Chains A and B, each alone.
Chain A
Amino acid sequence: MAGGVGSPGRAQIPWRTLRGDRWWFPPAVTFTLIVLWLLYALVRTSMQRDYFVATYHYLTPFYSPCVTASCHPDARHVGTWLGEMPPLVPYAFFLLPILLGFRLTCYYYRKAYYRAFWLSPPACAVAEPHAKYTGETRFPLILQNAHRYFFYAAVVVSGMNTLDAFDGFHGKDGGVGVGLGTIVMLTNAAFLWLYTLSCHSCRHLIGGRLKHFSKHPLRYRAWTIVSRLNTRHMQLAWTTLGTLLVTDLYIALVASGALTDLRFYN
């Protein structure tokens, strides 16, 4: 506290905060939820099983795209690019860093983990525990500026998930079919698109960078729509964590036989 609110000249108040509300609650919830989600994701990606329902072509997003020789042949609908995976290595090992990087450099998640994990600051007007602070001006945090590249990549990933969802329109007899799993995958893909499009970098690139909206009416329209989505970016960030988890869990349960898929057609 010495260099901060306790600095000489400032009003001498011995507490790091006088907030009496439960300011620690939101960061605590964020912390818990993110840790639980990461643990779940870690376990699931290293399991190397129950990721695909062959009958209906349900592929969990955690294993997408499935392009190694270890994958179930029907799951490799975009091809086989690599050989067998050693145990514990996630099948989608080259895409997961992109997903992780996109979320790690996301302006919303940055806020969330700087507050909940790094306590910088834990909550507004609550002194942070660090003696030094340089923000995002140095390595490694200066790399946050690469967010827009993760955004470009995330567009591809969302496209991948959409392909998977379309592949999920697969019936028992090999023709078209629809089940609850299809709906779940489709919903997940839709929300992933919303989250991706509501990204601040997207908002900038699509029109925010312009000085004169009036000279670019179409891009202004697009910017207005993205801006509206952008106000929900936080909600979408959490919603997609939810839909990802639900989609994976559902497919895992169906794949392991613990649950039978609810079929609507074929």
Chain B
Amino acid sequence: MSYDAKFRVWRGDASGGELVDYTVEVNDGEVVLDIIHRLQATQSGDLAVRWNCKAGKCGSCSAEVNGIPRLMCMTRMSTFTETETVTVTPMRAFPVIRDLVTDVSFNYEKARQIPAFAPPEGVARGEYRMQQVDVERSQEFRKCIECFLCQNTCHVVRDHEENKEAFAGPRFLIRAAELDMHPLDARDDRADFARDEQGIGMCNITKCCTEVCPEHIRITDNGIIPMKERVVGKRYDPLVWLGNKIGRRKP
């Protein structure tokens, strides 16, 4: 139940690199990460790769397999034919460190810009009461394992380095949505923040983030679009604006 597969792995660093060909054994039930590990153990001990849980839970092993952003530990070899060449490259939206490892600090910077959860005033620890229906929307976004595949795939930054400044990326737009939908979060400026600081207007809802999310979070439908609608409500909709002026219509 084993065969020799053809692999092409990008080797190199920020100064340059190339796709290197390997022939490597593949056994029943293995995933791409297993093969990369076999390369490490048998052919090139210094092949750099980031991983941790090998169970799709930590979001460390993000890379691009045959050009599609994926978790290596969740990409089964059985999805390829035995004769197919499997190409593995690092994520292409972030600076490369070495081989398959990229510098994802962009994401940590964006994370730090979002105002933290604001606890409700006067509610003591242990006294938080929330209904399941009210927490479910935010819980979907909290499934995020921060693999940053969505950030990597989003053309706003992938294809336009200069947009990195102004655009927070899908991962952090759903973080904003999560907080805005949190039943006890005390802030009411999350949508303004999404528009003014996170650049939600740059997203053209082409849904690649949703397509690559290994947690199957419906990033656009349940996160970004509702956030865009909330932005419309606060900033573009004259009716709502008028309503708020008069002082009614608090959600």
Residues of A within 8 A of B (CB): 3-5, 7-13, 17-21, 107, 110-111, 114-115, 120-121, 124-125, 127-128, 130, 132-137, 141-142, 145-148, 200-201, 203-205, 208-214, 220, 230-231
Contact = CB atoms under 8 A, between A and B. Distances in A.
Contacts of B87: 18, 20
A9 B95 contact: yes
Contacts of B16: 12
A71 B153 CA distance: 52
A10 B94 contact: yes
B115 interface: no
B202 A136 contact: yes
Contacts of B251: 209-211
A133 B202 contact: yes
B237 A148 contact: yes
A128 B158 CA distance: 9
Contacts of A19: 66-68
A148 B160 contact: no
Interface in B107-149: 131, 133-134
A136 B194 CA distance: 14
A115 to B, nearest CB: 6
Contacts, number: 159
Contacts of A9: 14, 95-96
B57 interface: no
B90 interface: yes
Contacts of A10: 92-96
Contact of A125 (B10, B64, B226, B233): B64
A230 B221 contact: yes
A203 to B, nearest CB: 8
A213 B251 CA distance: 10
A200 B221 contact: yes
Interface string B150-190: 00010110111111000000000000000011010000000
B228 to A, nearest CB: 8
Given A10-B94, A208-B229, A209-B251, A128 B159 contact: yes
B224 to A, nearest CB: 9
B69 interface: yes
A125 B153 contact: yes
Interface residues of B, number: 58
A114 B207 CA distance: 11
Interface string B92-108: 11111000001000000
A12 B99 CA distance: 11
A148 B162 contact: no
Contacts of B64: 18, 125
Contacts of A128: 155, 159
Given A12-B12, A20-B66, A209-B229, 11 more contacts: A4-B160, A5-B92, A10-B94, A12-B16, A13-B10, A21-B66, A114-B206, A124-B211, A204-B233, A205-B229, A213-B131
Nearest to A7: B161
B96 A137 contact: no
A209 B95 CA distance: 38
A120 B160 CA distance: 11
A231 B3 CA distance: 41
A145 to B, nearest CB: 4
A211 B181 contact: yes
Contacts of B225: 107, 200, 204
Nearest to B102: A11
Contacts of B228: 145
A11 B201 contact: no
Interface string B233-251: 1001100000000000001
